[in-house]
A and B are shown apart, each in its own frame.
Chain A
Amino acid sequence: MEYEAIIGMEVHVQLKTASKIYCGCSTAFGAEPNTQTCPVCLGLPGALPVLNRKAVELGLKAAVTLVCDEIVERAAFARKNYFYPDLPKGYQITQFGAPLARHGRIEIEVEGQQKEIGIRHLLIEEDAGKLIHSEGESDVSFVDFNRCGVPLLEIVSEPDLRTPAEAHAYLAALKEVIEYAGISDADMEKGQMRCEPNISVRPRGYKEFGTRTELKNLNSFRNVERAIAFEIERHIGILERGEKVEQATMLWDERAQRASPMRVKEEAHDYRYFPEPDLTAVTLGRDLAAQIRAELPELPRAKRARFVSGYGIAPEQAAVCASSPAVADYFEAVAKACGDGNEAAKWIVGVVASAVNEGKWDVNAPSVAAEKLAALIRLVADGAVSGIAARENVFPAMLERPGLEPEEAVDELGLRQMSDEARLEAVVDRVIAANPGEVVRYRRGEEKLLGYFVGQVMEETKGRANPKIVNQLLRRKLASG
């Protein structure tokens, strides 16, 4: 029998705020345990939450970015009640029934195929603390409350995904726009993006859904893809044996590359949601969303398309040039200033991208101003410096000394090309006169000797001769002997 997997995804990203969602404690990553807490996020008796405006704004920005059809008129908060050592109030303040926004979508691409994935809802809520287990002490959990109250955006998709590859593409697309719009840094290693896929399998053609299982403990897109593939196979295996899939939360074991049911005995969940009396409703969502929509940056997909058609660059180049708003702005500034989008793209994809990778370039504060890079590109075009020298000598010098003008750098490094035809002609004449044997051989048809002559000219000029002009001169002179 043929089977079909139905995959939905619940993603949490940390909203990019300085302070927590209901109090003024810092959200900075990597602090010493229990040093970023206060009465509010510790749930001390008598403390009360006050909602962070930025968290609401970023949530609405996500709603606009993910094209939500409905910004909820009266977004309200609710308490989700459960006991856990990392949840000091005994409840999580979240949204229930009236999330910030509903009915969004995002496009993904798998093997050249476009597909739209529905977003069921977006809501904002607080994170819980962190439990740490030490190997030696099997009976104790250590609690760090620093993450308590860190603002999260929950993004729940419709069950529109069908394959592990689609799930991967969905996460990648989500991460891209979320990061792009400045909603979250979405760094999985820092716990800023977490995802919990749910999977069910049914024979192809069936309408009814199979029993769902949820996957947890996935810390990279690759693991998500693998875990889903594993889980689909597991479901199919069970169905093939004529057995029933049991509803469960599965934990992915990265080392063993397999998922197994959570060992912690799960409670029958009864979260007893009810409206949070300590917070008021948010009714400014629609106005704010309209404002955000007007100010929203062009999203990567649209930007890439525009770069390809507007600057005539290749899609692969466009992908790099549009990889973040800062890079895209830089690319466009360089392209406009030098008048050659193609050259600008080559520089971004090659030289700038390697500088970024080597940690020598901060995309948000480029060491070489766009006008300077454009000037350098023009110097190459004008023949004042060779492309190789520009990349390998001039650019690194400019990188070291941000104030340096490309003209200055070329001169300081003595890399200015000799493009004066009269002067070069004299050198060429000298070289031809000094190598009569080679001239004869060349004229007999040994055209590869042209390289030899070029080398001689370069040696005479200490490599500064404009090779294009030298080539032209040599060809002309050797032919017309």
Chain B
Amino acid sequence: MSSGREDGGRPGADPVITADEVRHIAHLARLELTDREIEWFRVRLGAILEYVAKLNEIDIENVEPTSHVILMENVLRDDVVRPSLSRDEAIGSAPSSRNGFVAAPRIIETDDSGVV
């Protein structure tokens, strides 16, 4: 059986995730984690990544991936305008809104010197 190395072989070669990787992923997923939580997740993610490495046992050469299980194609709608929600319905449940807009904290900007 193929070891899957031609795909990068990542799961087999380095199955356990590091704390830095967990930190990076937590950032990608916008989850604030304490160091204790990082460790908690590191152990659990490591266990499951180790487990899924078993997929490397299988020869997947010439196998097409499945992203949709039913083979439907060209599902299209006509270009017809339908009623929208009222503004109140649309943004009424936003945690913060003003003057018809949803309010969000501004993205922090730094000036050219990098000072916040």
Contact = CB atoms under 8 A, between A and B. Distances in A.
Tell me if chains A and B make direct contact, with any CB pair below 8 A.
yes
Interface of A: 17-19, 23-26, 32-39, 42, 50-56, 74, 83, 85, 131-133, 138-145, 260-261, 263-265, 270, 272, 274-275, 277, 279-284
A282 B90 contact: no
A279 B90 contact: no
Interface residues of B, number: 37
Contacts of A37: 84-85, 90
B90 A24 contact: no
Contacts of B76: 50-53, 56, 282
A265 B99 CA distance: 28
Contacts of A85: 102, 104, 107
Nearest to B77: A50
A282 B82 contact: no
A290 B99 CA distance: 49
For B30, B86, B107, which residue has the most chain A Cβ atoms within 10 angstroms? Answer: B107
B102 A143 contact: yes
B80 interface: yes
Interface in B24-79: 28, 30, 67-68, 72-79
Interface of B: 28, 30, 67-68, 72-87, 90-91, 98-112
Q: Is the interface of B mostly helix, strand, loop or mixed?
A: loop
A275 B110 CA distance: 35
A141 B73 CA distance: 40
A144 B81 CA distance: 19
B106 A38 contact: no
Contact of B103 (A32, A36, A53, A143): A143
Closest 7 CB pairs of A and B: A24-B82, A54-B79, A142-B101, A275-B67, A53-B76, A85-B104, A143-B102
A143 B101 contact: yes
B84 A139 contact: no
A272 B85 contact: no
A377 B66 CA distance: 67
B77 to A, nearest CB: 5
B77 A140 contact: no
Contacts of A139: 105-106
Contacts of A52: 76-79
Contacts of B108: 264-265
Given A139-B105, A265-B110, A25 B90 contact: no
B74 A282 contact: yes
A56 B83 CA distance: 22
14 contacts: A24-B83, A26-B81, A34-B102, A35-B84, A35-B90, A50-B77, A52-B79, A55-B79, A74-B73, A133-B106, A274-B67, A280-B73, A281-B73, A282-B73
A283 B85 contact: no
A26 B85 CA distance: 11
B47 to A, nearest CB: 22
A263 B84 contact: no
Nearest to B107: A264
Given A33-B87, A53-B76, A132-B101, 10 more contacts: A23-B82, A24-B82, A34-B101, A50-B76, A50-B77, A52-B78, A141-B106, A142-B98, A282-B74, A283-B73
A264 B111 CA distance: 8
A362 to B, nearest CB: 23
A132 B101 CA distance: 9
B109 A32 contact: no
Nearest to A55: B79
Given A51-B76, A140-B104, A142-B102, A38 B112 contact: no
A151 to B, nearest CB: 9
B112 A261 contact: yes
B95 to A, nearest CB: 12
B80 A32 contact: no
A270 B28 CA distance: 8
A23 B83 CA distance: 10
Nearest to A54: B79
B91 A18 contact: no
Contacts of A140: 103-106
Contacts of A141: 103-107
Contacts of A32: 87, 100
Contacts of B85: 37-39, 42
A57 to B, nearest CB: 9
A284 B103 CA distance: 42
